[in-house]
Amino acid sequence: MQINRLIVKSLLPGSAIACLLSGTGLLAQTLPLQPNLINFNSPEGERLLLKSKSKQDYWPLSIQFMTQNSQAYCGVASMVMVLNALAIPAPADPRYGPHRVFTQENFFDNQQARSVISPEVVGRQGMTLAQLGQLLASYPVKVQVYHAAETSLEQFRQQVMETLNQTDNFLLVNYLRKEINQERGGHISPIAAYHKGSDRILILDVSRYKYPPVWVKTAELWQAMATQDSVSGQTRGYVLVSRD
């Protein structure tokens, strides 16, 4: 029988982590990581979080952490996490009434979101960086879209540190997996922490059936965002989301 479980390692020497996981044995089934990536669910991964001074987004995102419903729904799952973390007024979901919460099933109940791209199309091919920004903007949040070609590695690093030192704003990254030695196409997930000493960013990967959250070098993630999306013809990049 599958259960939901909250893994919490207490504040003992060398260990402090809180990560919502769904389903038993989930991490054991993920693909192996290459040496350039650090598994969050490892002593070194935990140490980086403990030592990080830029991790304000980790706590609210970890509470809302979820697995994408399908292999093309990474953007939807990421947006749902962020909207719930920002406590934006949510649509109804008959499963949870009278309570309201964003889910991957009700995200497109907003007609403005459907006018950007339909859930059926997203289910087949995912979404572009621009569509990610437009979908988020269909809700009462402030959205800034950054294509990698229009910024720089240093600007991205500064944006990461600033955002992760603040509350009520989040960064979603759109990157090509194979550039960080993963399999293999475009992907979207939120980032939750930055460790300055190692210059690594923690990606809370929403495809938890495939990969665990990982710490990746900032320059490597930047290169993965600087790749061209074949659908839009533009580079990938990142989106900053905050309260309107």
pLDDT digits (tens, 9 = 90+) for 167-178: 999 999 999 999
pLDDT tier, 45 (very low <50, low <70, confident <90, very high otherwise): very high
- Write out the catalytic residue numbers: 74, 187, 205
Contact status, residue 218 vs residue 52, Cβ threshold 8 Å: no
Instruction: Determine the structural domain holding residue 225 and report its residue range.
Output: 4-243
Q: How many CB atoms lie within 10 A of CB 154?
A: 10
Amino acid at 27: L
Give me the number of domains the chain comprises.
1
Q: Dump pLDDT digits (tens) for 116-143.
A: 999 999 999 999 999 999 999 999 999 9
For position 75, which CATH number holds?
Answer: 3.90.70.30
